[in-house]
Structure 1
Amino acid sequence: MDNSHRLCIDTFGSSGASVDLAEATARPCASVRRAAPEQKVPGAVAEFAQTEALVVEVERVITLAHPLPDVVGYLADFSHTTSWDPGTVSCDRIGGGELSVGSEWHNVSQFRGRRTELRYRLVRLDPDHLTFEGRNRTATSTDDMRFEEDGARTRLIYRARIDFHGPARLAAPLLKREFERLGDEVSEQLPKAVAHALGVPPAAGGRPR
């Protein structure tokens, strides 16, 4: 995903620069699978049916024209999802100070005409790896970004995952195609957003920021 996705979706909830500056390639690896259930006492079949989670995952590999530290610095601020995630309506930082593990955002996304709200938290902040986790009462959304140097460019492996809980889990198999579409849109929009924010990359004659 998920805008997760960052691909966010409605879970029954309250719920540019030219492309030649960066190329995006999408892997057809969206999937739906069951998450490992919690341990249940014998005979609790009804409870198991209500609590078992279903998972939708999407992965995209995107090559960006800017150096790795600049790309990570830009994407570490999750409020920028309004620029690169087509589903995001707003994403506002909660609190202030320097970005660090534990920083949070209030995210509002629109999916299939309905809005969903999640509270996102930065759970991993490494020089080459970012992970954000968003939650509401029906789903947990995880945006995982791993970065690799590719000469003067950056290779981004972007994974969006939605864990559905309760009745919302029934929607997961129906939404696989929608997640694939959103993944394609992110692959197209994210390089444009990075190019717009960071300007002409140094290798193309610009100045580092």
Structure 2
Amino acid sequence: MDTIMIQLRESIAVKRPIQEAFAYIADFRNTREWDATAYAGEKLTPGPVRVGTEFDIDCKLPIGSVRIRYTVTRLEPNTLIELTGKCGLFEVVDLIALDEEAGTTRIEYQADFSFSSALKPMASAAKTGMERMGRKAVAGLEQALNDDFPAPAASSGTATADKLLFPGLAMFSRAGYTRGRKRWNPISAWLGDKHIVITGANAGLGLASAHRLAEMGARLTLVIRKQALAETLKQEIVDASGNSNVHIEIADLSLMSDVDALVSRLSDRGEAIDVLINNAGALFNPRQLTDEGLEQSFALLLLSPYRLTLGLKPLLAKAEQGRVINVVSGGMYSQALEVESLIMPAQGYSGSVAYARAKRALMVITEEWAQAWEDDGIVVNAMHPGWADTPGVESALPGFHRITRRILRSPEEGADTIVWLAAATEAGEASGQLFLDREPRTPYLVPSKREAAEQRDQLRTFLAEFDIGAHCETAA
């Protein structure tokens, strides 16, 4: 059968090393970041991008919405990638060639669409629109690779919603994520020279973050509690991403002796830490004590990240720009900072309240560190993932999970802001802030929960002088 051809040809030049540009383009899921017609993308083949790797890209084209199955048919590292795409309406061959000269990478983009003769009227009518689409897409790629986006700021709609309790809470759902992503900038930053430490990396947000950051080329140190999971976890991430730079550290972060030992091991390695992601956490009901006699919520959720981050500060300062990301929770909005209540007694104990109080305190510490460490070149921010469907939420809050499961975010959606804070160039221009869906948010949806300066001073003193022996309890 005769075919009708539409050819697109575009050329751009960007100030990026060729290996960085190639790495970003070769992961064709990133099309959704720079091509306005692409609204979803999925990599179907595990491992590194190679000949035979498949992607599904959902696009809105002048001829209608289509899902295109792309297959990599040629691959010459840092030089050329060719993909063949097929859908019910056409076939397309995308050829992207790269060449570097004097620090500039030139990219030649070519797309050849083939329509059957039966679709000739549709193809002819769509030609002008598709040519315009091609120019716009390549201009989007140029913008993505130039990576010159403004410092993060809340949109007017978000700022208004945060002044009102219920609209602000509504953004915690999947709808908030969907709303937010419409305004997001691409993340083309190169992570191949970055070392990222993630605690609580074996499930939920930590695992989702580890997968995505491994795909982006980072060297990962993943901190988990159980040795039995180590080899399986490492192999899972290596197989999925093709990135073998994955190191596992075993530590029960509710035990300060394990935290201190972890700091010692990482310090002995001497490798600068570009990003520390304090993600490990759990909600404990009923009240429990650690083997060191500490109330477990306080130990794991507050004292542990405090002690770990302070211990690793020299390694963060060694990086070009160290970043700390503290994962907090929307539950903190319900609690004010009460230092004397951070270690909840057995009488009246509530796991969710203990969790929220610890996260409130961690948010305050985030702001304090950001100010104190500015001269050290360390950026410190907090994020909360919204309502995400993680194993921890399902097991610790079964009632909440049952009621909200239809509007919960996936772990990948909940972890998106962690990845953005770790990777995006512009995220390094903000410090001491709370982020949700890549936007700075108020730490106080309820004004009455704002603490006084004296309470901040009290928290600093309490944690700085914390002596485990003075605060431990006995099981009896």
Q: TM class by shorter-chain length?
A: 0.5 to 0.7
Alignment of 1:27-106 (within 5 A): 51-106=1-56
Give the C-alpha shift of residue 138 in structure 1: 2.7
Pairwise CA RMSD of aligned residues?
Answer: 2.2
Aligned pair count reads 153
User: Where does the alignment leave 5 or more consecutive residues of structure 2 unmatched?
Assistant: 148-186, 191-319, 322-476
Q: 3-state SS of the aligned residue for 1:189? A: helix
Aligned-partner Cα distance in 2 for 1:89–1:130: 22
Give % identity.
22
Match of 2:437 in 1: none
Match of 2:128 in 1: 177
Larger radius of gyration: 2
Match of 2:83 among 132, 147, 165: 132
**Aligned residues of 1:66 and 1:152 also touching (Cα < 8 A):** yes
Alignment of 1:86-165 (within 5 A): 86-112=36-62, 114-127=64-77, 128-165=79-116
Give the C-alpha shift of residue 199 in structure 1: 4.2
**Aligned residues of 1:138 and 1:166 also touching (Cα < 8 A):** no
Aligned-partner Cα distance in 2 for 1:139–1:169: 11
Aligned-partner Cα distance in 1 for 2:83–2:61: 19
Aligned-partner Cα distance in 2 for 1:89–1:184: 17
Give the C-alpha shift of residue 194 in structure 1: 1.9
**Aligned residues of 1:91 and 1:107 also touching (Cα < 8 A):** yes
Instruction: Check 1:75–1:64 CA distance in 2 against 1; reply closer, same or farther (3 A cut).
Output: same
Instruction: Check 1:172–1:114 CA distance in 2 against 1; reply closer, same or farther (3 A cut).
Output: closer
Give CA-to-partner distance per residue, 1:103-147, whole Å, 9 cap, x none. 001111012483111111011110201111111233101111011
**Aligned residues of 1:58 and 1:161 also touching (Cα < 8 A):** yes
Aligned-partner Cα distance in 1 for 2:89–2:138: 26
Give the C-alpha shift of residue 173 in structure 1: 2.1
Matched, 1:186 2:137: yes
Match of 2:146 in 1: 195
**Aligned residues of 2:4 and 2:117 also touching (Cα < 8 A):** no
Aligned-partner Cα distance in 2 for 1:176–1:166: 14
- Scaled by the length of structure 1, what TM-score is found? 0.67
Match of 2:461 in 1: none
Aligned-partner Cα distance in 2 for 1:112–1:140: 15
Instruction: Check 1:89–1:159 CA distance in 2 against 1; reply closer, same or farther (3 A cut).
Output: same
Instruction: Check 1:96–1:178 CA distance in 2 against 1; reply closer, same or farther (3 A cut).
Output: same
- One-letter code aligned to 1:169: K
Give CA-to-partner distance per residue, 1:138-178, whole Å, 9 cap, x none. 31011110111121010001001110025223322222211
- Scaled by the length of structure 2, what TM-score is found? 0.31
Aligned-partner Cα distance in 2 for 1:164–1:52: 9
Aligned-partner Cα distance in 1 for 2:29–2:138: 18
Instruction: Check 1:167–1:180 CA distance in 2 against 1; reply closer, same or farther (3 A cut).
Output: same
Aligned-partner Cα distance in 1 for 2:64–2:41: 16
Give the C-alpha shift of residue 74 in structure 1: 1.0
Higher strand share: 1
Aligned-partner Cα distance in 1 for 2:51–2:140: 26
**Aligned residues of 1:66 and 1:153 also touching (Cα < 8 A):** yes
Q: Which runs of 4+ in 1 moved over 4 A?
A: none
| Larger RCO, structure (CA 8 Å, separation 6 or more) | 1
